[in-house]
Structures are given as C-alpha cells and as structure tokens.
Amino acid sequence: MTNHGVCPKCGKRLLHVNIELVMGMIAGESKARCMSYSCIHCHAVLGVHLDKRSKPRPKAARPPAKTPGG
C-alpha cells in the first residue's frame, strides 16, 4: 500500500507535487539553493528544503585591477 498525503489547503490527495528550485536568503543575501514543494491543484507551498545535490555556487571573480598608463 502506498502512502498519499492530503493538501492542507485544498484537501485533495497529493499523488504528485510541483518541485521548484529557489534561493534561500539569510540577512538579505542569497546563501543556499533550495527546493520548494507545492500542491499541483492549488499551488500552496508544502515545504522548502536545502538542495543537498546542488553544487556550491562559484564566487564572483573580480576583474584584475587596472594599472595607470597601461
């Protein structure tokens, strides 16, 4: 027997969910890639979790400093 959840907002059975990639914010800065799960019927957000499979974001490369006269 398979377990199926029920959406807390619309009350329909959750056989499938929408999964979206979102950014987690800490103190106004993007800090982590996350996954958001929502109901396919009413689009209520059911949960958000850190995406453990995501690769770390590369640091922004700073352009080399310009030298005067060159």
Domain count for the chain, please give it.
Answer: 1
The per-residue b/e assignment along 10-24, b for 16 or more CB within 10 angstroms, e otherwise, is: eeeebeeeeeeeeee
- Encoded tokens for 58: 């590369």
58 part of a folded domain? no
65 part of a folded domain? no
39 part of a folded domain? yes
45 part of a folded domain? yes
33 part of a folded domain? yes
Predicted confidence (pLDDT) per residue in 4-44, tens digit: 789 999 999 999 999 999 988 888 888 788 999 999 999 99
How far apart are the C-alpha atoms of 59 and 13, rounded to whole Å?
42
DSSP 55: P
Residue ranges making up the domain that contains 44: 17-50
31 part of a folded domain? yes
Give the pLDDT of residue 53: 79
57 part of a folded domain? no
pTM, 2 dp = 0.65
